[in-house]
């Protein structure tokens, strides 16, 4: 019984740490977005482009869970600020790809460099096997959240009634 209580306490602590991490990440992302003069969705799309490389606006919309119309407006804003650029696909000149610019990388590096350095020193505290377990937990959690997001989009819960005055 003691083992189950310990496991429950660990799971509760893990859930709390994940929620706190999400809140701190949200606050950090808001700071970066505010400083760049963009919104958090714009920043999220820049991150997707930075991680994934050039892609079509449609693929970006899919990856960001946004409508194509919303992504078109978003790309117009980011392109006007010099943070993304549209380029012709060299394999198919009819296709247009979007990519993050060097200016965007330079402007965000000042924020994320410290995080990368801190993460490297943090990772040194753990064995490779422990890091593999953490990576697996995060990857599996991401898959679960993708599936849950798809379920909620397909069948959203009813909206809460508006408060009466």
Burial of 124 (0-12, 13-18, 19+ CB in 10 A): exposed
pLDDT bucket at 76, cuts 50 / 70 / 90 = very high
pLDDT digits (tens, 9 = 90+) for 58-73: 999 999 999 999 999 9
Q: Is residue 75 part of a domain?
A: yes
- Show the domain range for 47: 2-124
The string of pLDDT tens digits covering residues 108-146 is 999 999 898 899 999 999 999 999 999 999 999 999 999
> Residue 152 falls within a domain, yes or no?
no
Flag whether 138 is in a domain.
no
Where residue 159 falls among pLDDT bands split at 50, 70, 90?
Answer: confident
**Is 123 within 8 Å of 131 (Cβ atoms)?**
yes
DSSP state of 160: P
Q: What is the 3-state secondary structure (H, E, C) of 67-126?
A: CHHHHHHHHHHHHHCCCEEEEECCCCCCCEEEEECHHHHHHHHHHHHHHHHHHHHHHCCC
32-51 pLDDT per residue, tens: 999 999 999 999 999 999 99
- For residue 165, the model assigns a pLDDT of 77
Q: How many C-beta atoms lie closer than 10 Å to residue 8's C-beta?
A: 10
Q: Which residue has the tokens 């920043």?
A: 43
In a domain, 73, yes or no: yes
Q: What are the C-alpha distances in Å from 127 to residues 80, 86, 98, 133?
A: 45, 42, 38, 10
Whether residue 14 is predicted with pLDDT greater than 60 in this model: the reply is yes
Domains of the chain: total: 1
Residue 23 is predicted with a pLDDT of: 97
Q: What is the pLDDT of residue 164?
A: 83
- Provide the pLDDT for residue 2: 59
- 140 within domain boundaries: no
CATH number of the domain bearing residue 106 = 1.10.10.10
Domain contains 154:
no
| Confidence at residue 133, expressed as pLDDT on a 0 to 100 scale | 97
For residue 151, being part of any structural domain is answered with: no
Residue 162 is predicted with a pLDDT of 82
Element (H, E) at 41: helix 40-52
Q: How far is CA 27 from the centre of its chain?
A: 13
pLDDT at residue 70, as a whole number: 95
Instruction: Tell me, yes or no, whether 120 lies in a domain.
Output: yes
Q: Is the pTM of this model over 0.75?
A: yes
pLDDT at 101 (0 to 100): 97
């Amino acid at each position: 019984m003691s083992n189950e209580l310990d496991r429950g306490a660990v799971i509760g602590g893990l859930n709390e740490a994940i929620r706190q991490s999400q809140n701190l990440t949200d606050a950090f992302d808001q700071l970066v977005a505010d400083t760049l003069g963009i919104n958090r969705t714009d920043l999220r799309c820049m991150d997707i482009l930075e991680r994934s490389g050039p892609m079509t606006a449609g693929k970006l919309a899919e990856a960001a869970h946004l409508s194509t119309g919303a992504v078109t407006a978003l790309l117009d804003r980011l392109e006007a600020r010099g943070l993304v650029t549209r380029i012709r696909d060299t394999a198919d000149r009819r296709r247009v790809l979007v990519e993050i610019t060097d200016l965007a990388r330079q402007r965000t590096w000042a924020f994320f460099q410290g995080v990368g350095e801190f993460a490297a020193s943090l990772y040194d505290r753990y064995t490779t096997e422990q890091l593999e377990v953490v990576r697996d937990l995060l990857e599996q959690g991401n898959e679960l959240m993708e599936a849950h997001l798809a379920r909620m989009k397909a069948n959203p819960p009813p909206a809460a009634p508006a408060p009466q005055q």
